[in-house]
């Protein structure tokens, strides 16, 4: 782990602890383990993936606790929810992460992250025009890979994984 990501995790942990204290919630190891796992990861995870990862690491956590903790983290602005075109929600860390959007291929499911220097200003204006201040944003664009061959290969690989 790089020094930077260690610092981020420590900072986010202390924020989480402060928020929970304000709401008189117990700061359990299980809840902290959800936060740590998300901040350790660089991908988008759904609640079940998180649950499986934590169980594999020997954390005695229930599915319900994973869901509840994710709700808390979302409310405290420490994770964002994203819709990657699946039936379930994916989560990703948001503290210290630049606002970005996701481009998702509807055929193979590949996800790319993109940023634009113009986007935050545009979003701020949009929010202000509608009477809001901008917190964070998370956006999804759905399309299809331009590289059809690579896309078809990914679809094939996925089928083989499932088989």
> Which of 26, 163, 149, 38 minimizes the C-alpha distance to 95?
38
CB within 8 Å of 87: residues ≥ 6 apart: none
CB-based contact 79:46 (threshold 8 Å): no
45 binds Zn ion (CB under 5 A): no
The closest alpha carbon to 121, from 109, 137, 110, belongs to 137
Closer of 59 and 92 to Zn ion (Cβ): 92
What mask of x and - would describe binding to Zn ion in positions 81 to 100, judged by CB under 5 A? -----------x--------
Exposed, middle or buried by CB within 10 Å (0-12, 13-18, 19+), for 43? exposed
35 in contact with Zn ion (CB under 5 A): no
The least distance separating Zn ion from the CB of residue 92, rounded to whole angstroms, comes to: 5
Nearer to Zn ion, 14 or 153 (CB): 153
Q: Which helix (H) or strand (E) holds 1?
A: none
Which residues in the 99-138 window bind Zn ion by CB under 5 A? 105, 107-108, 110, 113
Give the count of residues interacting with Zn ion (CB under 5 A): 8
**Binding-site annotation, residues:** 105, 108, 145
Residues in contact with Zn ion by CB under 5 A are: 92, 105, 107-108, 110, 113, 145, 151
């Amino acid at each position: 782990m790089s020094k930077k990501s260690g610092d981020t995790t420590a900072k986010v942990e202390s924020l989480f602890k402060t928020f929970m204290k304000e709401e008189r919630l117990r700061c359990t190891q299980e809840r902290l383990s959800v936060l740590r796992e998300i901040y350790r990861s660089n991908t988008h995870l759904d609640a079940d993936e998180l649950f499986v990862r934590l169980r594999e690491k020997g954390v005695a956590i229930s599915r319900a606790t994973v869901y509840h903790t994710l709700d808390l983290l979302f409310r405290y602005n420490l994770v964002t929810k994203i819709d990657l075109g699946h039936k379930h929600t994916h989560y990703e860390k948001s503290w210290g992460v630049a606002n970005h959007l996701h481009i998702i291929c509807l055929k193979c499911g590949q996800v790319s992250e993109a940023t634009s220097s113009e986007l935050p200003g545009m979003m701020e204006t949009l929010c202000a025009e509608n009477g809001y201040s901008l917190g964070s944003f998370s956006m999804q664009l759905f399309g299809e890979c331009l590289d059809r061959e690579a896309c078809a290969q990914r679809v094939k690989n996925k089928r083989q994984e499932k088989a």
